[in-house]
Amino acid sequence: MRVKEPLRVAVVFGPGRSIRPVWFDWHSRKHSILETTYSWTDLKGAAKRLHFSVRDEGGLYQLTYDTVDQSWELSGLEGE
């Protein structure tokens, strides 16, 4: 299901400019990320966006990070 909601996301920055989301807050509930199943990048105009397909105990979610305005968005979900 397509969604477009702003999120608060906690990330770990690693070597080589890597970013790993560890949890996100959605509908007043903290979702601990068990696994990142896939990640990719794209461009929206001049903005580079980082996409993460992540899994918690209840479902699969797509998180998107906009590197220009430094915002996170829930852009899709399965389960829940």
At residue 17, φ and ψ (nearest 5 deg) are 65, 25
State the pLDDT at residue 34. 97
What is the value of pTM for the model shown?
Answer: 0.90
At 39 the pLDDT is 95
Determine the pLDDT at residue 18: 87
Average pLDDT estimate for 13-26? 92
| Count of structural domains, the chain | 1
Mean pLDDT of the chain: 92
The string of pLDDT tens digits covering residues 40-74 is 999 988 889 999 999 999 899 999 999 999 999 99
Contact between 7 and 17 (Cβ < 8 Å)? no
Residue 10 domain boundaries: 2-79
Q: What angle do CA 13, 18, 19 make, to 5 degrees?
A: 55
Q: Parallel, antiparallel, or unpaired for β 19-26 and 29-32?
A: antiparallel
- Residue 75 in contact with residue 2, Cβ under 8 Å? yes
